[in-house]
Structure 1
Amino acid sequence: MIIRMAKEKDAKKIAAIMVDSWQKNFKGIVPEEVLHGMDPVKTSKVINKSINNGNIFVAVQENKVVGFVGVGENRIKECPKWEAEIQAIHVNYDVKGSGIGTQLLEKALTELKNRKYKVVGLSVFESNPANKFYKKHGGYLVGKHQKNMSEENLIENLYEFQL
């Protein structure tokens, strides 16, 4: 498996992985109408912008994109000292637990460190089992915030990484 910077031709596959991941991993966490309303075509347009900015990396196994990580500016106002944010990390459901997520997280942290960032963060739904993953890999829980989705207030844990 290799991890490389995403290319425009990867956008549709990245979008498909993201939508599938949300629909499978966040069932019972995120309102059903949000999950059912996700559109890979619209998602791929947003992803293309991040690809063009050099902010998405993909995991490729046997010539197939099987996961991705996106980095970018900090969107979490409750954590103004974060210099950047890991905005998304998803892998194909059938390769979940194989270490690809760990490699993608490490790639994101290395890339952000190379960009001279010292403090980065990410947010994770409070009831998402991935909280254990981020703690295991050095994330420090520094707070919580509410995210409104379909008129439901969801709690997200805020993790910080010192680079």
Structure 2
Amino acid sequence: MKIRKATIDNAKAIAKVHVESWKTTYTGIVPASYLQQLSVTEKEQLWKRGLQQSKHYIFVVEEDGNVCGFISGGRNRATQGKESEYEGEIYAIYLLKEAQRKGYGKELVKTLVNDFVNDGIHSMTVWVLEDNPSKHFYERLGGKVVNEASIHIGGKELKEVCYGWNNIEDLL
């Protein structure tokens, strides 16, 4: 297992992980019609844009030389609400199903947090669908629910929870 900063050349691999992870994680939660229309090509363009942003942190985890997961984050996008007091935010973290439960997620978070701390970011949040079976990962890392919101995905209203960490250095 190797974790490193993502490059523009990783956009397609990240897009594949993104789409595949949504399909395996959110089946039965997000409408099937929405999951079926997810496109690696569209996500690749999204990730190319993200990889070109200067203060967008994106790391990949590789297993046997192949990208099997990633994490992205940056400054907190909240402009109001309980979660806006946190400086940083995990925007996305996804692992292929076969790469889960190997400690890769925890190592990705630690890598991101290390860069956050080096850049003066000492607290963070992450938004997670309430029905996401992986939400307990954030609880095991010490995240506390600090807010909730509704979100519409594929025409269905879903509930999101926001986990927050006041001192992310505890994660290192």
Q: TM-score range with shorter-chain normalisation? A: over 0.9
Please give the alpha-carbon distance, in whole angstroms, between the structure 1 residues aligned to 2:92 and 2:28: 19
- Note the C-alpha offset of 1:72: 2.2
Task: Specify every segment of 5 or more residues in structure 1 that has no aligned partner in the other structure, as ranges.
Answer: none
Q: In the TM superposition, what whole-angstrom CA distance separates every residue of 1:18-72 from its partner, at most 9, and x where no partner exists?
A: 1000011011111222211111111111111222225210011221111100012
Please give the alpha-carbon distance, in whole angstroms, between the structure 2 residues aligned to 1:109 and 1:138: 14
Find the partner of 2:64 among 62, 65, 68: 62
Q: Is structure 2 residue 51 aligned with structure 1 residue 51?
A: yes
Q: Is structure 2 residue 7 aligned with structure 1 residue 3?
A: no
Aligned residue for 1:80, secondary structure, equals helix
Aligned length: 163
CA RMSD of aligned residues (A): 1.4
Task: Specify every segment of 5 or more residues in structure 2 that has no aligned partner in the other structure, as ranges.
Answer: none
Aligned residue for 1:111, secondary structure, equals helix
Q: Is structure 2 residue 98 aligned with structure 1 residue 94?
A: yes
- Note the C-alpha offset of 1:149: 1.5
- Note the C-alpha offset of 1:138: 1.6
- Note the C-alpha offset of 1:100: 0.8
% identity of equivalent residues: 28
Please give the alpha-carbon distance, in whole angstroms, between the structure 2 residues aligned to 1:153 and 1:82: 26
Q: TM-score, normalised by structure 1?
A: 0.93
Query: Match for 1:7: what amino acid?
Result: T
- Note the C-alpha offset of 1:140: 1.1
Find the partner of 2:147 among 123, 143, 148: 143
Q: TM-score, normalised by structure 2?
A: 0.88
Find the partner of 1:72 among 71, 74, 94: 74
Aligned residue for 1:116, secondary structure, equals coil
- Note the C-alpha offset of 1:8: 0.9
